Amino acid sequence: MTMNVNQGVLKKAIGIGLTAVMGGSLLAGCSSDSKNNTADGGSAAGGDSAERVTLKVEVFDRGNSPAPYTITNNYLTKLVQERFGDPNNIDVEFVPIQRSEEVTKLNVLMASNSDVPDIVFTYDSSVFYRYAQQGGLTDVGALLDEYGPNLKKFIGEDTLAFGQLEGKQFAIPGKRAITGRYSSYIRQDWLDKLGLPVPTTTDELYTTLKAFKEKDPGGLGSKNIPMGMALAPAQFETLIYSFMKPVSGDLTYGQRYELPLHEGFKEAMQFLNKLYNEGLISKDFSLDEDKTQLAKDIQNGNIGYWSEDVDVLFYADGTLDNLYKNVQGSKVLPVDVLTNAKVDNKHIKSRYASNGMYIMIPKSSKRAVEAVKYLDWMASDNNLIDMYSGVEGENYDLVDGIPVVKADAPQEIVDRIYNAGDMAIISNGKNIGDQATNEKAWVSGFPERNQETLKQSIAIANTDTVGPLVFGKPIEAESQYGTTLNDKLAVIIVKTAMVKPEEFETVYEQEMKDYMSLGGAKLKEELEQALKELPAQ
């Protein structure tokens, strides 16, 4: 479930691709055809005529199709054709796009009047906004009202808002099943050995970390790391949120590179500087952007406390299993420790937005009606569960209404839904019901030995969360300066953490001055203006 280096690369590709491809050619390629399209951008016949039509749907190709399947010919593509396509006189054609090249390839397709699929998608809001601003997308508002009642009900008005620009519905956001994001963990066996209670505040955590360093309960010597740290969001974002003040109620700016603009960011950097200079965090965290070293240190039993994505420890033969195998008597306890003095000492942490990908219908599509019907079919009856979970009794058993994965299912049965996440595009994760139900279904897919600890982790991830604001219009400075400012955020974190305490103030002020000159000032101005224009929360 987790901006990293790959996202930075994608954003650079966005900038290059959009500049080269979309500067006019997008509008030419995606202009409305009045002879074939209705005012909504869809087929007048809407799939109800005797003529058999083709609906083209983008699909991510991750290069992981197990034999005998291919990304365009597999169990789920056949299921879609048999259940949706054939009854509606539609041939559903899946158009593969390599996941690693999605933005660049999508830009090229969107510039084409004939090759672009009828359903495309992206996870990047700036790409969606750019297409909408360029006039390249169908306004699906009226189509949803007429052909997508199940889809509208499934997505919900709050999540649909993520796909709107100036009041028009230019994208159908996928619905995220689970919004919990981060949790923290402590070595219970270390606490027990030192006779220490579980810390519940930031100050208590600091005292505990000092004890871990000075008394070395793991007998690790120079390998002892009281607090695990990496230059990755699950670690630095968790720390920063515990110091910063949200912008409006339980909402704040949604992009990570906006963190330096928040009240409390400086205090977070000061605390990180204190931890680093006192030898309480991973010494080489600045070199560990992908968390590889952090995971190794956890599994080898070298770390006493750390934060992580809510689920990442608990997979079979993963971090937690390996720690318990490597270190006899080790015990990990999920904890909610960091307290925010600016928000009533709550355990503030970020949550995911309720939306997943942005599903779009190009303006040039002659199959907008069929496209909405397809997405509505997916949201109807048992279709979404069947796409995600497979066949009851073979892939899963239904327990109290929850599809529980059969641990003993043969590999050929498991393989039939290998691409479920990329086919069930209206859902990010398994949407079975409300979030509590979704969480039960999610937990059931993990090894039984780890499920109770995962439940504790999820409960913490859902506590005192802050979500992203929805402005309903693009923040131009984000697409213009986002990549640069994201890189600069990493520089600020590293430089201010590693400098001597007496030099912190000077270095912080210089780095923030650079940040503002690199686009931060423009971003701040635009965000504050957008905030003023929002309806009262």
pLDDT value of residue 31: 39
pLDDT value of residue 14: 35
Per-residue model confidence as pLDDT tens digits over 163-220: 999 899 999 999 999 999 999 999 999 999 999 999 999 999 999 999 999 999 999 9
Helix (H, G, I), strand (E, B) or coil at 274: helix
Task: Give average pLDDT by consecutive 10-residue segment, the chain, 537 residues.
Answer: 37 36 39 37 47 96 95 98 98 94 89 88 90 95 98 96 94 96 98 98 98 98 98 97 95 92 98 98 97 98 98 96 98 98 96 94 97 98 95 94 91 96 95 92 92 98 95 87 95 98 98 98 96 79
Can you tell me which residue has the tokens 């603009």?
261
Distance CA 179, CA 465 (A): 9
Token pair of 29, please? Answer: 């390629």
Closest of 421, 470, 402 to residue 176, by C-alpha: 421
Q: What is the pTM of this model?
A: 0.84
* Contact call for residues 1 and 311 (beta carbons, < 8 A): yes
Per-residue model confidence as pLDDT tens digits over 92-121: 999 999 988 888 899 899 988 678 999 999
Distance CA 463, CA 183 (A): 10
Can you tell me which residue has the tokens 């984000």?
478
pLDDT value of residue 101: 87
pLDDT value of residue 59: 97
pLDDT value of residue 537: 53
Per-residue model confidence as pLDDT tens digits over 459-517: 999 999 999 998 878 899 988 999 899 999 999 999 999 999 999 999 999 999 999 99
